[in-house]
Chains A and B, each alone.
Chain A
């Protein structure tokens, strides 16, 4: 049974992309969840949709156009948030609805929704190309190195931004790095898990691992284990039962969360 699945090149590519995404999503997710920034993943995923629409319209690689548009939008969100002229969550709402509207208008120009877009909305291992793998792998390496370099600063700013600022840390730079890394993670995760479910991949493994009440490093490790298991199991299950890959992955993650949450409540 398991040998059959590896006969298909698209499954191998899907698994490779899935494993990369499963590794990077909780790494960025832990900082977003602890800063109560979970909603930013949702917003950036809708912004990515506008980027994908541009890619499909112009015949460019949608992952690359999504990456570009999401990075620009993430900087805009941060600037708007820093201006303190509107609430942080309002800035997210503006970008979320604005980018969704832009995506719909662009796609109507391209003669409506097509199968390709459906795959990006809900995720499908069929959409992962070998080029996507190269792009995802390169950017994942950049992301992991950047996180390692700013690891301690990101923890401090996430824990107590004011004290971090008073201690002399460049908090604005750290915040910009965090939002840029989020933009990269969201754009890269779309081919495998889809626009509508990427926030789940970033948030749920971290929220589940936080229930275990361990140190920061152990929380990251547990998030990684949950994320990797869910993505690999989700790809296998969705292949054999002909289900949506993204939806299956997220449902497996939610099941793990429910088990751990209930077990912690009982004991």
Chain B
């Protein structure tokens, strides 16, 4: 997948956010291009999840602006272009009585509008999404009866069943074993390279995300760096992200 630098999917400009008088983010300026696979890294409590929530309109901006697909976030309505797998995706209520198929069908609900139920076309997309994550055979099982890794696949299927152009993942591999992590990253790479989806993935696993993503954005209450994974890897010694020994704010593209 080639990154189209001429096409900004997300434009973040001078964004700041405070929670109860505590400044969480300040002066964040960042563009995310079509086809990119951006890893967002930073220490715990650095504001990574807050940044994602601001981009998704789940939190209000205190200052600055965010444009989604060229449109100001306040006026943006075409939410079907965005897929989201939240941090708590696998921490949901396991007693919630929904089947795997029903969970994935949720992605189609907003497209249907009020008062309409899913039809045959939706069923085809649901089947395709579940097959893509190799979970079709589990379609009639309750989501709470699956393993953490399987649940994660179902939530990815739900994100792609909405036929988005960009998918956000917030700490998707926390609490899952190494094998599940490997399968997850293979799947995300496929979505980026074969399906052409733009990916934004928040992770605390700096080593792994550097090996997977095309670009890295380091967040520690502000944007500390935004560079290619390769350059990030080469300069990570001097960057020393988690030790706060930051050299520069990088903004390079391949």
**Secondary structure of the A contact surface, majority rule:** helix
Q: Which of B40-48, B76-84, B212-220, B226-234 contacts A (4 or more CB under 8 A)?
A: B76-84
C-alpha spacing A260/B110, complex, angstroms? 37
Digit string of B139-166 for contact with A (CB within 8 Å is 1, else 0)? 0001011000000000000100010000
Give how many B residues have a beta carbon under 8 Å from the other chain's beta carbons: 35
- Contact A159–B58 (Cβ < 8 Å): no
Contacts of A158 in B (CB 8 A): 96
Query: Are A219 and B84 CB-contacts (below 8 A) given A149-B115, A156-B106, A166-B57?
Result: no
B58 and A165 form a contact (CB under 8 A) = yes
A214 to B145, CA, bound (A): 11
Chain B residues whose CB sits within 8 angstroms of the CB of A155 once the complex forms: 98, 102, 106
Q: Which of A154-180 contact B (CB under 8 A)?
A: 155-156, 158-160, 162-169
> How many positions in chain A have a CB within 8 Å of any CB in the partner chain?
25
State the Cβ distance, A181 to closest chain B Cβ, in Å.
15
Encoded as 1 (CB less than 8 Å from any B CB) or 0, chain A from 72 to 93 comes to 0000000000000000000000
A143 smallest CB distance to B (angstroms): 16
Contact B58 A216, beta carbon cutoff 8 Å: no
**Bound CA span A155–B82, Å:** 20
Determine whether A265 belongs to the interface, using a CB cutoff of 8 Å to chain B: no
Contact A213/B107 with A149-B114, A159-B96, A160-B92 known, Cβ cut-off 8 Å = no
Contact across chains for B86 and A213 when beta carbons are under 8 A apart = no
In the complex the two chains form, is B86's CB within 8 Å of A216's CB? no
Report which of A159, A166, A168, A169 forms a contact with B103, defined as CB distance below 8 A.
A159
- CB-CB under 8 A for A156 and B109, given A166-B57, A168-B80, A213-B142: yes
**Residues B86 and A160 in contact, CB atoms below 8 Å apart:** yes
Contact with A along B99-117 (1 / 0, CB 8 A): 1001101110110101101
Complex Cα distance, B146 from A213, in Å, reads 13
Restricting to A207-233, which residues have a CB under 8 Å from any CB of B? 210, 213-216, 218-219
Q: Name the B residues within 8 Å of A163 (CB-CB).
A: 84, 86, 106, 158
Bound-complex Cα distance A166 to B162 (A)? 11
Q: Mark B106-133, 1 if CB is under 8 A from A, else 0.
A: 1101101011011000000000000000
- A interface residues (Cβ-Cβ under 8 A, vs B): 34, 149-150, 152-153, 155-156, 158-160, 162-169, 210, 213-216, 218-219
What are 12 A-B interface contacts by the 8 Å CB criterion?
A152-B105, A152-B118, A153-B114, A155-B98, A155-B106, A158-B96, A159-B106, A160-B89, A162-B56, A163-B84, A165-B58, A169-B109
Binding site for A on B (CB under 8 A): 56-58, 77-80, 82, 84, 86, 89, 92-93, 95-99, 102-103, 105-107, 109-110, 112, 114-115, 117-118, 142, 144-145, 158, 162
Given contacts A162-B84, A167-B110, A213-B142, could you give 16 more A-B pairs where the C-beta distance is less than 8 Å?
A: A150-B114, A152-B105, A152-B117, A153-B109, A155-B102, A155-B106, A159-B103, A160-B89, A167-B84, A167-B162, A168-B77, A210-B97, A213-B95, A213-B97, A216-B102, A218-B97
